[in-house]
Structure formats: structure tokens, C-alpha cells
Amino acid sequence: MTYQEKIPNFGELSLVALDPAAHADLVHGWVTQPWAAFWGMGSHSVAEVREIYEFVDGLDTHHAYLIMLDGAPIGLFQTYQPEADPVGERYTVRPGDVGMHLLLAPGRRPPKGLTTAIGPALARFLFADPTRLRIVVEPDVRNERALDRLRREGFTFGDEIDMPDKRAQLAFLTRERYESAHAVPA
């Protein structure tokens, strides 16, 4: 287990390193659903999903995790060093930047407020490393749900950029902005 935190009113949140062989079927079942279209794997086979995450697993700069709530998988969380990712070629990477991707509550309607509760927990996980000063995200510009969530979570929007597979909206959350908005749980 990589990270664990009690989320009041929801249960125990944990991040578990994704095992490409063991979790390929589960992740494939999520990323190929119509509601996960912005993840970009809609037509991938189980073997292709496994191969992608085997590649990610072999990198020191990118990491994939299952998000668990009370032991049940509820999402996929990925982190990366922007300077080692195509996004880093499209904006000026600062020391302390860390990128993330989030696919939450796949296949079912999450309990009301879960997304709002999990976002800060994931930021706490990222900012637990004192060298990380800013979270970077780059959702598809058409992904209004993600953009709305980022606004609510305090991200500031940067430029729109062209990624290999999408037009993306850069957004940033600094450690200072996060800490001013979220108290650390007791």
C-alpha cells in the first residue's frame, strides 16, 4: 500500500500500486466505457491496456495506482514528472511540478460528495513530498466535468495546448493555494 487516509463519512481511502498483469481486466473494464472516452483507451484490448501499464510500470517518472475505498477499487490515479512527459514540451516546467490523471468511480454513481472528498486527499498524497510545489493537469478541453471539478478544487487555468491525442487545458494547483484552502486532517 502506497498511501492510506480515513475520509470522513466515506471510509478508508488507499492507493495501491497498479499491477499491470493482475489489474488489466479491471482497468480495461473502466477505460473502455463510453463515459471514460477522455481517457483515450476506448478501443483498446485487455492486452493493450496491460502493455500500456507495463510500460508505465517500467518508468521511474510515471506511476499508476488503484484508488481503493474500504478495500474496493473505485478509480485509477496516475502521477508523472512533466519534464519526462509530452506535456512538458508544451509549457515551461517549474521545479517541483508533478502531473496527475484521475479516473474516479468508474461504472457507478459515486456517493454524493465523494469526488469532492477524494480530490484533496490525492493532493495531500502528492504534497506529502516537500519537493512538490505544484500539481499540473491537462484534461481534454471538451471534458467539462473535469474542468468544473478543477475550478471547484482551486486549480488556476493556463493555456490550451495541443497534445498528441487531444486539445488540452493546462491547469495548476500550487501547494500554497492548496494549503490555504484545505486544513490537514487530524
pLDDT of residue 68: 94
Domains and CATH numbers, the chain: 3-181 (3.40.630.30)
Task: Compute the Cα dihedral for 137, 28, 68, 107 and give only its sign.
Answer: positive
- The residues near 130 (Cβ < 8 Å, ≥ 6 apart) are none
Binning the chain into helix, strand and coil, the percentages to the nearest 5 are 35, 30, 30
pLDDT of residue 157: 98
pLDDT of residue 184: 55
pLDDT of residue 186: 46
- The residues near 78 (Cβ < 8 Å, ≥ 6 apart) are 56, 62, 63, 64, 65, 100, 101, 102
- Sequential pLDDT tens for the chain (186 residues): 689 999 988 899 999 999 999 999 999 999 998 888 888 888 899 999 999 999 999 999 999 999 999 999 999 999 999 999 999 999 999 999 999 999 986 656 667 778 888 889 999 999 999 999 999 999 999 999 899 999 999 999 999 999 988 999 999 999 999 998 876 554
For the stretch 114-144, pLDDT in tens is 888 888 999 999 999 999 999 999 999 999 9
